[in-house]
A and B are shown apart, each in its own frame.
Chain A
Amino acid sequence: MKKLFSLFLLVLSALIFVGCSSDSSSDGEGDGANDAGEDNKKVEIFSWWTGAGEEDGLLALIDLFKEKHPEVEVDNAAISGGAGTNAKAVLATRMQGDDPPSTFQVHGGDELNEGWVAADKMQPLNDFFEEQGWMDKFPQDLIDMVSKDGNIYSVPVNIHRGNVMFYNMDIFEEHGIEIPTTFDEFFAAADKLQEAGVTPLALGDKEAWTATQLFENILLGVLEPEDYTALFNGEIPFDDEGVVEAAEIFKKTLDYVNEDHASRNWQDASQLVGNGEAAMINMGDWAKGYFSNDLNLETNEDFGYFPNPETVGEFVIITDTFGLPKGIDNEEETKEFLAVLGSVEGQDVFNPLKGSIPARLDADPSKYDQYGKDTMEDFSEAKLVPTLAHGSAAPEGFLTKVNQAVNIFVTQRDVDTFIDTLKKAASDL
């Protein structure tokens, strides 16, 4: 009896084992069948938009698409966490396993061009852009950022600006400080503030990119757009005197930051500006959403903004784009989704919610708040450059090494070692 029972158990476990494996494989086949058969009516959109405003934007965009194409099913495959790190890890696994999503979020610039395009995983979209009449609707600088060797590879949805200085207006008023436009003016203001017992600049570099972003902004201020771009194209070496000068200014700037910067992330650091402990913070314009939505501060009353010193008329772009991977079997539907994504209507539905500005130049400014309007105006006139800190100016591998070098520099303040490390990292580019 006992033996019979254990035999029964064995058979049962074997069945479960076999059942599980066949279950999962049939699941896989089912997915494949859904993609291939059933009239290809499914688009899978892969992103890391799960945060407050951005998820609303994505859902609104999907609703708009469903309205236009009710026959197509949309699968929102957003993965949260780590500012896209988790999503990027999953994406890498899927792409390497030849199981790409229909379309996925990727920053324009090297993250796209030196990543997926160089890996030969993307399809060119030149004809598609012509067809949609988009060639003159996006700024040329931006189209260049999503192109490699003359082929366009993705559709930009939004623009964030990466060289903004947010400041506490009360503090500026109280201490009689004018908006600084040069480094000298910035340091003069910083000295004044420090004497008055206010932290001049808030920094939260628990995650290294915030410090890298500050350095990148200074670098742009010193080098000007032409040399800045040339630096990342390898035409100017990293031990160029401009880079050394930028490192010196970066070093000096670090004397003015809050002491506990290593324990704060960018939100915690922004809080210092919000509650008046610090006067300024260098941040991308997602900080605007944090100030107005999370801290309930009024734009241009409680906090103001200006371009980082010596970057007036220059615009560091962070752009989210969506491309068309190779090896998907629902190209038609995906292209229809991209068409909605790149349309004025699509961009105006998404961006006000996300707190970014549209990538197109002909969007409707009345749908945006004052900050958005100002940024849109700057965007149409300014010189556009790619961001290093968010992976547009250089490949992720280089960025990882720069982040490490910056992390060490913030503590050691050793310019020579810093420049050496950058140069060594650049030699692997």
Chain B
Amino acid sequence: MDQKININKQVDIQPKKKKKRVTSDQLLAVGFLLPSFILLLIFVYGFIGWTGWVSLSNWNTLVPDFSFAGLKNYIYLFGDYRFQADLRNTIFFTILFIGLVIVMGLLLSALIDQKIKGETFFRNVFLFPMALSFVVTGVVWQWLLNPSTGFNQFLEVFGIQPKWYTDTTILAGFEWGSIEFGLPVAIIAVVIAAVWQMTGFSLAMYLAGLRGIPEELREAARIDGASEFQIYRKVILPMLTPITVSVVIIMAHISLKIFDLIYAMTGSGANFVTDVPGVYMFETTFRGNYYANGSAIAIIMLLLVAVFIVPYLLTNRRGDN
């Protein structure tokens, strides 16, 4: 806090010295920022506010109805079978997706970092899926994991026939609200597709991180008698923490908002085993004309993402200062 004030003071002092020049500079800066600031204010924050307002209204028909409904839409959603299933799916999808992306990214980057031959080739191979859109990934994996046409024709040799995303079992399920809470097996298929696409990203991040760790540190550890495994566990992993945090944040907001992959690959799924809030929001708003309900889902999604992003932004700001 003290530091901050100091900085501000310094800024304050400067204009006094060369008053005129700084003012025109500031003007210029303001002039540059103003258009995008105004656009942002209207088209991002304005509409977030508007969505929030609609979510508190009675607008659940074609004709707008802005009479105040209080938290009616939220109460409805949290009692709704489909929305409860959505929350369950989002939780498990996010945990599995982020966990696997980090583990796979770390593993692959550690392997690529071994100064192997054809490093560029492998790096590109792993990065390529990222160049695709989620819709393409969705369609491809829909066929790969289709129980009757895809990967299963290969697995048939071993006598296993997983049902992938058409499986409706909930692992370790127990009654919770109106749904069965547990890991929906079908979501694993979606996680595989999402991990396949996004691992390249965490691989690139970790590779950059690994390259940033000076060789001397490893040498020092080796001289101290640490095994390679210990070096990774005690030296390298802790140094990669900031990267892990970034990966988690970026993956969390992707997974909480996911829509296109699910929409293209599985849809809501039987018994809503692969449904997510994004898909529900789209269908209830634009098919059912439940605008207020849809807005409420949007606001809940925003809050979910904020839980991850806001602490990150706050720590980042502190770090900058």
Binding site for B on A (CB under 8 A): 3, 6-7, 10, 13-14, 17, 85, 88-89, 92, 95-96, 115-116, 118-120, 205-208, 259-263, 395-397, 399-401, 404, 407-408, 410-412
Interface status of B61 (Cβ within 8 A of chain A): yes
B60 contacts A85, CB within 8 Å?
Answer: no
B267 contacts A408, CB within 8 Å?
Answer: no
A119 contacts B271, CB within 8 Å?
Answer: no
Partner of A397, one of B31, B61, B147: B61
B290 contacts A397, CB within 8 Å?
Answer: yes
Partner of A206, one of B32, B266, B283: B266
Give 30 A-B contacts (CB < 8 Å), ordered by A residue. A6-B28, A10-B31, A14-B31, A85-B286, A89-B286, A96-B62, A118-B62, A119-B61, A119-B63, A120-B63, A206-B267, A207-B267, A259-B166, A260-B147, A260-B148, A260-B163, A261-B166, A262-B165, A262-B266, A263-B147, A263-B164, A396-B288, A400-B283, A400-B288, A400-B290, A404-B82, A407-B268, A408-B272, A410-B270, A411-B271
Contacts of B31 in A (CB 8 A): 10, 14
B186: nearest chain-A partner, CB-CB = A262
If the complex has contacts A89-B286, A397-B290, A408-B271, are A259 and B62 also in contact, measured as CB distance less than 8 A? no
Separation of A26 and B271 alpha carbons in the complex (Å): 50
Q: Which residues 264-313 of B sit at the A interface, judged by CB distance below 8 A?
A: 266-272, 283-284, 286-290
B289 contacts A397, CB within 8 Å?
Answer: yes
Interface status of B168 (Cβ within 8 A of chain A): yes
Contacts of B109 in A (CB 8 A): none
Interface status of B214 (Cβ within 8 A of chain A): no
Q: Which residues 122-150 of B sit at the A interface, judged by CB distance below 8 A?
A: 142, 146-148
B288 contacts A399, CB within 8 Å?
Answer: yes
Separation of A89 and B284 alpha carbons in the complex (Å): 11
Contacts of A206 in B (CB 8 A): 266-267
B81: nearest chain-A partner, CB-CB = A408
Contacts of B289 in A (CB 8 A): 92, 115, 395-397
Separation of A10 and B35 alpha carbons in the complex (Å): 11
A396 contacts B287, CB within 8 Å?
Answer: yes
Q: What is the distance, in angstroms, from A96's C-beta to the closest C-beta of chain B?
A: 6
Not counting A263-B165, A397-B61, a sample of 12 additional A-B residue pairs whose C-beta atoms are within 8 angstroms of each other reads A119-B63, A260-B146, A260-B147, A260-B163, A263-B148, A395-B289, A399-B287, A400-B283, A400-B287, A404-B82, A408-B81, A411-B270
Separation of A96 and B61 alpha carbons in the complex (Å): 11
Q: What is the distance, in angstroms, from A349's C-beta to the closest C-beta of chain B?
A: 31
Partner of B62, one of A92, A205, A262: A92
Size range of the interface on B?
35 or more
A93: nearest chain-B partner, CB-CB = B286
Interface status of B64 (Cβ within 8 A of chain A): yes
B61 contacts A263, CB within 8 Å?
Answer: no
Contacts of B166 in A (CB 8 A): 259-263
Separation of A119 and B59 alpha carbons in the complex (Å): 13
A263 contacts B283, CB within 8 Å?
Answer: no
Partner of B288, one of A6, A397, A408: A397
CB-CB nearest 6 A-B residue pairs: A400-B288, A411-B271, A262-B270, A89-B286, A262-B166, A119-B63
B275: nearest chain-A partner, CB-CB = A407
B35: nearest chain-A partner, CB-CB = A17
Separation of A399 and B288 alpha carbons in the complex (Å): 7
Contacts of A260 in B (CB 8 A): 146-148, 163, 166
Contacts of B267 in A (CB 8 A): 206-207
Separation of A207 and B272 alpha carbons in the complex (Å): 12
A400 contacts B62, CB within 8 Å?
Answer: no
Partner of A263, one of B28, B62, B81, B142: B142
If the complex has contacts A14-B31, A400-B290, A411-B168, are A115 and B62 also in contact, measured as CB distance less than 8 A? yes
A262 contacts B272, CB within 8 Å?
Answer: no
Separation of A88 and B81 alpha carbons in the complex (Å): 26
Q: What is the distance, in angstroms, from B186's C-beta to the closest C-beta of chain A?
A: 8
Separation of A119 and B60 alpha carbons in the complex (Å): 13
Separation of A206 and B165 alpha carbons in the complex (Å): 11
A13 contacts B287, CB within 8 Å?
Answer: no
B152: nearest chain-A partner, CB-CB = A260
B142: nearest chain-A partner, CB-CB = A263
Contacts of A410 in B (CB 8 A): 270-271
Contacts of B62 in A (CB 8 A): 92, 95-96, 115-116, 118-119
B290 contacts A262, CB within 8 Å?
Answer: no
B273: nearest chain-A partner, CB-CB = A411
Separation of A303 and B321 alpha carbons in the complex (Å): 74
A405: nearest chain-B partner, CB-CB = B81
Q: What is the distance, in angstroms, from B35's C-beta to the closest C-beta of chain A?
A: 5
Contacts of B270 in A (CB 8 A): 205, 261-262, 407, 410-411
Separation of A421 and B155 alpha carbons in the complex (Å): 40
A20: nearest chain-B partner, CB-CB = B35
